Chains A and B, each alone.
Chain A
Amino acid sequence: MATTSSKNMKGFYRQKKTTGGITKKATNTKWSAALSSNLTALISHASPDLKDDYDDKESVLREFDMNMAYGPCLGMSRQARWERANRLGLNPPKEIEGLLNGGKVQAGCLWDGRV
């Protein structure tokens, strides 16, 4: 842990007031619980990741992460997990590989950095 003097704490651990500024559409999704409890984690990653930035592509990838047939997802990149599933003969959908190769998607799994 970096030792910071108290006057630098605000810079290290940016806090924002909850009144306004934060989009409330997060509360309507099932991820709201995860997001609100990990709000501090999101902010401490230096860019306030408050937007609900998971679009269709990300939700497809999250379904792939959660699919038990391909094994645990923690500790592996999505690409590695897809390749393992392919090598073990589990026939993972080809579109997942397409999504991972092209486009800006998160390389780690859903829980990456959060657990």
Chain B
Amino acid sequence: MEIDGEKAVLERKQSTYLALDETFEIQKETYGGQQYSQIYFTRLHLMRTLLYSLVPNLKPHLPVCKILELEKGKECIVVGTLYKHMKLKPSILDEYSRTRSVTPLVKPHNFMHPDDHLILEDESGRVKLGGTMLLPSSYITGIVVALQGKETGAGDFFVQDVLEAGLAPQIEFPLESREDKYVVLVSGLSVGSSASNPLQFQLLVDHITGHLGDEKEQAIAAQIVHVIIAGSSVEIPRGLLNGQNLASKDQSRLSVPIKELDIMLTQIAAGVPLDIMPGPNDPANYSLPQQPLNRCLFPGSAAYNTFRSCTNPHCFELDNIRFLGTSGQNIDDLQKYSEAKDKLEFMERTLRWRNLGPTAPNTLGCYPFIDRDPFLIDSCPHVYFAGNQDKYETSLLKGTEGQLVRLICIPKFSKTGVAVAVSFCIFPSILKLPKELENLFQA
């Protein structure tokens, strides 16, 4: 390496950051003994108002009525919350039931059954849904839809057509010609678990901070403007968390993963803005929206103003490009109670239903909000990601009003060694960054 006084220093690109996590924070909430009916009411009201405004454009001649106002044979539109009655869904009441039928053999993480059926509910009543238009396997409890159909003699509502809210309006993608910049999305680092390879993580950190490779490589790394860690960054040894008193040597074992993570994050935060989101295995609250990891856990990284601890779900804008994503709990929950050809289809469905976590609070833990549903998607993001997935997948979703969304499934880094770099140019296109050990030995 020549020592040349006139060699230019590579500067990292920068971008403007805007955090939009206010709706996911629960510091201002007070618990007054409320139940989940409040969040369902708010969700139904807001979505129903929206659907009532969309229905006249598509089905102008049909009357809209509440469920209790349904008349036999009269074709109309009805809006309500879907409830899916699932035979195999575990219920706490099963513990108390005397007669327990032999549980059929079923995949352990999917509770679907051919006998599942859908029911539509609003504040006036509920009605069972019939017909072949709505496949129970594609729907879950908690979404609000408009249905066209009529009440049959048996008292069911025969569905002829379904109207979902569709993609939310999107702010315009800033199209001015821009220099190429990248955002790195990574999740499932699982520091402290047996599956995670510290060398892989160090390789990633070195690449991001520009300590790897020649000038060309470093120039690529200088285009990374932000790093998002989407959950499951640590794995605390489970054997220690069984409620028994910890010996002092075990106590230090408990904190080793977090300390290791902090050392790595300090290296990243020293060079590039970093957002860390809590995930299913992190020391944060269980129910969504998960609150930011405490800054005390990261004494080294929190000293930098580039370090930001964020909520899960996380919404932000970089150079006016809107990003929205979670650590994967919402998509994994959808997989337990419905089916789709891949995870991207689940993500597409959540956008079309305009709800990040429609199964909350039914099967996805959630705070009992009174006056809002934080999972409602008011503005369609440009990039929508879900962390802790099994493999890297991406697709481009087009909406009916010209919305374009890049869907990304971020794989678990500890299992796959893959991080995702999203480019700002063109419509956000993707670069996959494999961090296999082979890279170390290639020239």
Q: Interface of A with B (CB < 8 Å)?
A: 68-69, 71-72, 74-77, 80, 83-84, 87-90
Q: Is the CB of A77 within 8 A of B32?
A: yes
> Which residues of B are found within 8 Å of A84, using beta-carbon distances?
42, 370-371
Indicate whether B46 reaches chain A with its CB closer than 8 angstroms: yes
Contact A75 B41 (CB under 8 A): no
Contact of B37 among A74, A83, A87, A88 (CB under 8 A): A74
A72 to B38, CA, bound (A): 6
Q: Are A71 and B32 in contact (CB under 8 A)?
A: no
19 residue pairs from A and B, CB less than 8 Å apart: A69-B123, A71-B37, A71-B42, A71-B123, A72-B37, A72-B38, A72-B41, A74-B33, A74-B35, A74-B37, A75-B32, A75-B34, A76-B32, A80-B32, A83-B371, A87-B371, A88-B45, A89-B49, A90-B45
**Contact assessment for B35 and A68 in the assembled complex, using a CB-CB cutoff below 8 Å:** no
Query: B248 an interface residue at 8 Å Cβ cutoff?
Result: no
- Given contacts A68-B123, A71-B38, is CB(A76)–CB(B370) below 8 Å? yes
Which residues of B from 25 to 45 have beta carbons under 8 Å from A? 32-35, 37-38, 41-42, 45
Q: Which residues of B contact A74 (CB under 8 A)?
A: 33-35, 37
Q: Complex: how many Å from CA A83 to CA B32?
A: 15
Measured in the bound complex, the distance between the Cα atoms of B123 and A76 in whole Å is: 18
| A80-B370, A84-B370 given; A71·B45 CB < 8 A | yes
Set A75, A83, A90: member contacting B35, Cβ < 8 A: A75
Q: Is the CB of B124 within 8 A of A68?
A: yes
A68 to B123, CA, bound (A): 7
Measured CB to CB, the closest approach of chain B to A106, in angstroms, equals 14
- Give the docked Cα–Cα distance between A77 and B371 (Å): 12
Does A72 lie within 8 Å of B32, measured CB to CB?
Answer: no
CA distance A87 to B34 in the complex (A): 19
Chain B contacts for A71, CB-based, 8 A: 37-38, 41-42, 45, 123
Expressed in whole angstroms, the Cα–Cα distance for A69 and B49 within the complex equals 13
> How close is A66's CB to chain B, nearest CB, in angstroms?
12
With A and B bound together, what is the CA distance between A87 and B371 in angstroms? Answer: 9
Residue from A68, A71, A84 whose CB has the most chain B CB atoms within 10 Å? A71
B42 touches A88 (CB 8 A): yes
Q: How far is the CB of B261 from chain A (nearest CB, A)?
A: 38
What is the minimal beta-carbon distance from B412 to any residue of chain A, in angstroms? 38
A84–B370 Cα gap in the complex (Å)? 8
| Top 8 A-B pairs, shortest CB-CB distance | A75-B34, A71-B41, A72-B37, A84-B371, A75-B33, A68-B123, A75-B32, A88-B45
Given contacts A71-B45, A83-B371, A84-B370, 5 further A-B contacts (CB under 8 A): A68-B124, A71-B38, A71-B42, A72-B37, A77-B32
Q: Which residue of B lies closest to A108 (CB)?
A: B32
A80 to chain B: which residues have CB within 8 Å?
A: 32, 370-371
Chain A residues whose C-beta falls within 8 Å of the C-beta of B35 in the assembled complex: 72, 74-75
Q: How far is the CA of A88 from the CA of B42 in the complex (A)?
A: 8
CB interface residues, B 338-373, toward A, < 8 Å: 368, 370-371
Q: How far is the CA of A110 from the CA of B252 in the complex (A)?
A: 52
